[in-house]
Amino acid sequence: MTDWVYMPWVTPSANPVRFVVRSPPPSCCQSRLGNRIVRESSMKGRLLLLLWAWAAATWVSVSAVTRLGRGVAGEQPLSRIAVERVVLAVNDAAYVKASPLVLGHKGENSEWADVEFFHPNPSDDDWIGVFSPANFSDAICEAENTGTPVLCTAPIKYQFANFENDGYNKTGKGYLKLQLINQREDFSFALFSGGLSKPKLISVSNKVAFANPKAPVYPRLAQGKSWNEMTVTWTSGYDITEAVPFVEWGEKGGRRLLAPAGTLTFDRNSMCGSPARTVGWRHPGYIHTSFLKDLWPDSPYTYRLGHRLMNGTRVWSKSYSFKASPYPGQDSLQRVVVFGDMGKAEADGSNEFSDFQPGSLNTTYQIIRDLEDIDMVVHIGDICYADGYLSQWDQFTAQIEPIASRR
């Protein structure tokens, strides 16, 4: 008999379900370690089919409810910004200042920036846009963007100027603390009036950047084609002509091995239309994939991402770890979390529209807290709702890194 343990975490936009497969009481001929289960290949297949059927049924019902409840909140927040209508209204008395100038001094891939601003004629609909690359003028517009717009790219995130600034309407002074992730380019912050539908550019800040904007970041693991293979995928700013990607890995405490990685990317012409080819376009960076093979069952491994520059210098990520899969059919317990419709959200509260997707952070944080009791995480669809705004994929991979880099 099989005991299915159902443990939902109820959140507005995702409902993870934990399945724990337990064995019947062991017989005299079975060796049992703790709460483990002997699974023959045929039973494994039946259990997997049952799991997926259950997950699919759960997803269909949950998805229907969340979509009906989401209403207008299902709109991608960045799509509400009428980038093509931006007009210049620069005010010399206004200012935007950002600090620190350099982020990630100690190799961090995520840091908080302090943004101080002033508008001599403040209003409720003033907002701050975060742009990356920092130069977002019409000089970088492509032919795909018709006309002569002031801007030809949407911000990667935004927040209203009066957010947690109760006196802004009177003083015109405000302060925001915004989280930035390493996205291969520098950043600038711009103050707009006129709301999101008729934006007027008032002032632009200084530039800030990560110490190494091209660094390898956001690894995500996937089971390989065989039980003893692990796939590692990550993103960087290094094209194959600049650096050779690889993974340094090995059993915890054992000798280190090097595994080569491939490099892929895509360009604007790969996109099917607006906004992905126009205001939503942002270069996705270079996506690298390596295959770690001949893993020992149930063994702990450590790894780090590397790039060998053409001058021989090596650039490293921080170290990560994972546990290899059990041998097929062996006595084991596998604890699996299955969910869909998670989306993404910003820890600093930016980009929110009618509480767009705060549940995605709840889900992410809950899985991180329970990660030591989880062997596999399956996201079954509707991943980050980028909807043509490519910067959101970096935000999503950064959000799930604490999970995806280890499971």
- pLDDT(195) > 50: yes
Task: Write out the DSSP string of 8-47.
Answer: ----SS---EEEEEEPPPP-TT----SS-EE--HHHHHHH
**Does residue 234 form part of some domain?**
yes
Give pLDDT, residue 354.
63
pLDDT per residue over 5-47, tens digit each?
A: 333 333 444 445 555 544 333 333 333 333 333 333 344 444 4
Rounded Cα distance between 143 and 304, Å, is: 40
Residues paired with residue 226 on neighbouring β-strands, in sequence order: none
Q: What radius of gyration do the chain's Cα atoms show?
A: 24
Give pLDDT, residue 206.
95
Give pLDDT, residue 146.
52
Q: Which residues contact 45 (CB under 8 A, 6 or more apart)?
A: none
Residues 96 and 114 in one domain: yes
| CB atoms closer than 10 angstroms to residue 385 | 20
pLDDT per residue over 314-328, tens digit each?
A: 999 999 999 999 999
Residue 318: phi and psi, rounded to 5, are -75, 175
Last residue of a domain, one of 183, 210, 237: 210
Give pLDDT, residue 396.
95
Rounded Cα distance between 243 and 292, Å, is: 20
Rounded Cα distance between 318 and 304, Å, is: 6
Residues 120 and 108 in one domain: yes
pLDDT per residue over 367-385, tens digit each?
A: 999 999 999 999 998 888 8
Burial 238-259 (b: 16+ CB within 10 A, else e): beeeebebbbbbeeeeeeebeb
Element housing 60 (H / E): helix 41-70
**Does residue 301 form part of some domain?**
yes
pLDDT per residue over 69-78, tens digit each?
A: 333 445 889 9
Q: Which residues contact 270 (CB under 8 A, 6 or more apart)?
A: none
User: Is residue 64 very low, low, confident or very high in pLDDT (cuts 50, 70, 90)?
Assistant: very low
Give pLDDT, residue 149.
65
| Mean pLDDT score, 90-98 | 95
Task: Find where tokens 């008999």 sit.
Answer: 1
Q: Quote the Cα angle for 296-297-301, to 5°.
A: 60
**Does residue 348 form part of some domain?**
yes
Q: Tell me which amino acid residue 248 is.
A: E
Rounded Cα distance between 12 and 341, Å, is: 10
Q: Tell me which amino acid residue 320 is.
A: Y
pTM score over 0.75: yes
Arithmetic mean of pLDDT over the chain: 83
**Does residue 358 form part of some domain?**
yes
pLDDT per residue over 234-257, tens digit each?
A: 999 999 999 999 999 999 888 999
Residues 244 and 345 in one domain: no
Residues 346 and 248 in one domain: no
Rounded Cα distance between 44 and 30, Å, is: 18
Rounded Cα distance between 405 and 10, Å, is: 24
Residues 134 and 220 in one domain: no
Residues 167 and 228 in one domain: no
- Relative to beta strand 200-204, strand 87-88 is parallel
Residues 191 and 169 in one domain: yes
Residues 347 and 307 in one domain: no
| Mean pLDDT score, 165-190 | 94
| Mean pLDDT score, 109-116 | 96
The least confident of 49-53, 110-114, 302-306 is: 49-53
- Cis-peptide, bond into residue 275, ω within 30° of zero: yes
Residues 223 and 327 in one domain: yes
CB 323 within 8 A of CB 371: no
How many domains does the chain divide into?
3
| CB atoms closer than 10 angstroms to residue 387 | 15
**Does residue 50 form part of some domain?**
no
**Does residue 34 form part of some domain?**
no
- pLDDT(357) > 80: no
Range of the domain at 337: 333-406
Give pLDDT, residue 381.
87
Residues 250 and 371 in one domain: no
Report for 20-34, 87-101, 343-357: range of highest mean pLDDT: 87-101
**Does residue 124 form part of some domain?**
yes
Last residue of a domain, one of 187, 210, 233: 210
The count of residues in the chain is 407
User: Is residue 100 very low, low, confident or very high in pLDDT (cuts 50, 70, 90)?
Assistant: very high
Q: Which residues contact 44 (CB under 8 A, 6 or more apart)?
A: 328, 329
Residues 388 and 276 in one domain: no
Rounded Cα distance between 99 and 206, Å, is: 9
- Of the candidates 91, 69, 163, 168, the residue with the CA atom closest to the CA atom of residue 123: 168
Residue 229: phi and psi, rounded to 5, are -130, 135
**Does residue 2 form part of some domain?**
no
Last residue of a domain, one of 210, 237, 263: 210
